[in-house]
Structure 1
């Protein structure tokens, strides 16, 4: 199938090119992409790949166009969010934790199917594709049917980030930290992931403090009841729970000092591989530090729940989103970094 895709080479600006998408295998589908979120992981991967040509994008939403013969539960025309890929059969997948799938690295980051076959070609040459099981910076994407979650008539630009960023922020609160009414949550960083985490906690009746240096990113959480500060060094009350979305060692260390005894810190930001922690203080104060991948979520369960909250007016996901044409990727990234946009979403059809 001939498609248009955003082909990236390292940190250079991506270019729209014609590409050939493989036919779906029995358990795969082709989704005509209506919207796709831009995530920090896309930018990190683009740098990591160097000059290797790649089609990234892993928060796709669109209409099912072609089905493999073994696919059940989906029909052409269904609007779906494409979430990350998982095998469905390992111990973690069977336990409802597909983010920790035994084959996660190969399925989501190898650039090919699990058997090594490519899914995308440009000029008859295979390129890095199948990113997070999709590569949705394109007009269409090939994905495993089990990664496709029906979303009904949900606006595609609002639904798309549920595949990763929104899923991660909300899942970190609901599945990992689990604060209750009367608890106080500190969210470090108020980009797309942090903002959704803050709004999710507020919808649970939890007191929220957001630490974010960019003033524009503090506006939305404050409007919904969060206390906002520009720096973790500003005076603030101690907290029972904390979520770091930045990955910065200094932010992680400071967040730990603000936790009450037996508090818990969840980490979802990718930063340096190593950081120094005061293990004695962790032990003596009963603190927990917890890694979190994809919000510890089963997308087939959490995405519909987040949609229900959106429809009930409890989770204003639409207020986080700003849309751009697919060709305006670099402008979208620049706006996100400047705080002009919380969550950029690309529209391949424009």
Structure 2
């Protein structure tokens, strides 16, 4: 079947719309007509460093849409279902069996190998393979192939612009709080970086009763929105001499919990400095290959530092919780979204890179 996709045709290149072909779903696959897809920092980082030998490539891992067809072995999803797409997992390794599919032993092959995991791709152009299978979906296209492990049924009346980001950025930020830090009501929490992941962490913290919630970001408009979403205090890190001391004062001796979404080593150490003894830090940002941590503070204050992939969430269980909070008005994801037609996907990508848009979402007419 002929579809339209946004290809990355060379490492670091722009998204370019091209007509390509997609295979019918195999026995374990699901064909989804994509209605919206969020643009995530991971998409933009990946295209800047994706190996040349694995181009052209279709990215996109925050898709939502309507199921068109399913393979013979698919039992939980049916044609006509409205679905949200997330990351793929094997379902059989120890991490998956324990309810932590974000740490699936086969994560790399199933999500970022350029194909299905067996070396093949359902996508092609003029008879030559187009790499895909990104997070088990490659949803920067009018149609995508997905799997039961990363396809979650959602209400048909859920706006596509809201549904799309749930599968990664919202899940990551909210999950870092609810699934990893697990704060009690009344405890303090600080979020460093207020992109879509950070804003989602703020909204989840407020929904769970944390107080005060503090947001740290140099962009004034984002600090203002964080305040509207429930942050009791905001900090401009470029305007204070000591970020950690400012947060300790705002939280009465240090925050109980912190979430870093920046992956900037200096900021991670500010988070460590902002915590009170026995505090916990969740690292939800991806980017820095290594960081020199203030280990003596971690040891001396008895801190817990946890890495977080995909909010340590099982999408089939967690996305309904997110949708319920959205319905209650406690997770207003729509406040983060700027919509663009799919034909303007590169404009949307540049808006994300320039921080003009918190969560760009491309929609398919």
- Range of TM-score over shorter length: over 0.9
Structure 1 residue corresponding to 2:199, chosen from 195, 198, 203: 195
Match of 1:186 in 2: 190
Match of 2:334 in 1: 318
Alignment of 1:296-315 (within 5 A): 296-315=312-331
CA displacement at 1:319 relative to structure 2: 1.0
Give a deviation string over 1:23-44, Cα, whole Å, max 9, x none. Answer: 2111111000000000011011
Residue 334 (structure 1) aligned with residue 350 (structure 2): yes
Give 3-state SS (helix, strand or coil) of 1:270's partner. coil
CA displacement at 1:221 relative to structure 2: 1.4
Match of 2:146 in 1: 143
Q: Cα–Cα, structure 1 residues 216 and 268, in superposed 2: closer, same or farther, change >3 Å?
A: same
Bigger shift: residues 102-111 or 200-209: 200-209
Alignment of 1:53-132 (within 5 A): 53-132=56-135
CA displacement at 1:224 relative to structure 2: 2.7
Count of residues in Structure 1 that have an aligned counterpart in Structure 2: 349
Match of 2:264 in 1: 248
Structure 2: gaps of 5 or more residues: none
Q: 8 Å contact 1:137–1:348 — kept in the other structure? A: no
Give a deviation string over 1:214-267, Cα, whole Å, max 9, x none. Answer: 112112210133111111734233211000000000000111011100111110
Match of 2:222 in 1: 217
Alignment of 1:211-290 (within 5 A): 211-226=216-231, 227-231=233-237, 233-234=242-243, 235-236=246-247, 237=249, 238-290=254-306
CA displacement at 1:50 relative to structure 2: 4.7
Give a deviation string over 1:4-35, Cα, whole Å, max 9, x none. Answer: 00011222222111111122111111000000
* Rounded Cα–Cα distance in structure 1 between residues aligned with 2:271 and 2:346: 32
Bigger shift: residues 72-81 or 257-266: 72-81
* Rounded Cα–Cα distance in structure 1 between residues aligned with 2:281 and 2:345: 33
Match of 2:35 in 1: 34
Q: 8 Å contact 1:216–1:339 — kept in the other structure? A: no
Q: 8 Å contact 1:11–1:50 — kept in the other structure? A: no
TM, length-normalised to structure 1? 0.97
CA displacement at 1:334 relative to structure 2: 2.4
Q: 8 Å contact 2:202–2:229 — kept in the other structure? A: no
Structure 1: gaps of 5 or more residues: none
Give 3-state SS (helix, strand or coil) of 2:64's partner. strand
* Rounded Cα–Cα distance in structure 1 between residues aligned with 2:334 and 2:190: 23
Q: 8 Å contact 2:272–2:294 — kept in the other structure? A: no
CA displacement at 1:74 relative to structure 2: 1.8
Give 3-state SS (helix, strand or coil) of 1:110's partner. coil
Structure 1 runs (4+) deviating above 4 angstroms are none
TM, length-normalised to structure 2? 0.93
Residue 156 (structure 1) aligned with residue 160 (structure 2): yes
* Rounded Cα–Cα distance in structure 1 between residues aligned with 2:225 and 2:153: 28
